[in-house]
Structure 1
């Protein structure tokens, strides 16, 4: 892949569309500029997914518009499609995540929904 190319990538548990800024063939990661959100990151402890009885139930924000992240090359795939607006993609990703949690009916889902309420205020999204 080359500089300027659009890619999909995963970062922690989120999925994004971004522009390849610094492909580094000699390394195992590349710098990607985030342009849209496909899947909002899962809340809580990454090492104990689905658990609420952890030392810290972490609030995980989506990467911001134009934020640059080091992404493992194994998590990059070429993207060919229309590039959605960042804010609209974030709203859509949050709503999809919320819908999946509402139907789950578990302590983890309840804790995740609570962190999402807080994040929506940070994102300035309607509750």
Structure 2
């Protein structure tokens, strides 16, 4: 079925989040039930079919899976993990902060890029100033 055994510590992806967990059941050759122990990467917000588009009919808010929640994870996203698993609340706080920081950096980069592009537009097309 898979190379995992019940009780194995793993990292696994669920939708757009990545978690530390423990295999609790090998359900099929394609999925395993994983108990969530900590959050590695917070899920991405928005419409996955239209990434980076804020103007979609339904902008999804995605919560992290809860501590001790069991979720069916695709076997292809599961990796054995031998390191220390952080405490759930600490991991959630760190993952959320990292996601906020990443988006804030992108926002600052976008503003600066728009400034530079505006200047280039003036350089390229001086007659339109």
Per the TM superposition, whether the score is higher than 0.5 is yes
Return the index of the structure with the highest Cα Rg: 2
Aligned residue for 1:15, secondary structure, equals: strand
What TM-score, normalized to structure 2? 0.78
Aligned residue for 1:103, secondary structure, equals: helix
Q: Which ranges of structure 2 fall in alignment gaps of 5 or more residues?
A: 109-129
Matches of 2:63 and 2:40, distance apart in 1: 13
Structure 1 moving runs of 4+ over 6 Å:
none
What TM-score, normalized to structure 1? 0.79
1:90 corresponding residue in structure 2: 92
Matches of 1:46 and 1:63, distance apart in 2: 18
Among candidates 5, 14, 18, match of residue 2 of structure 1: 5
The structure with the greater share of residues assigned to helix is: 2
Aligned residues: 105
Confirm whether residue 19 of structure 1 aligns to residue 22 of structure 2: yes
Q: CA RMSD in A?
A: 1.1
2:118 corresponding residue in structure 1: none
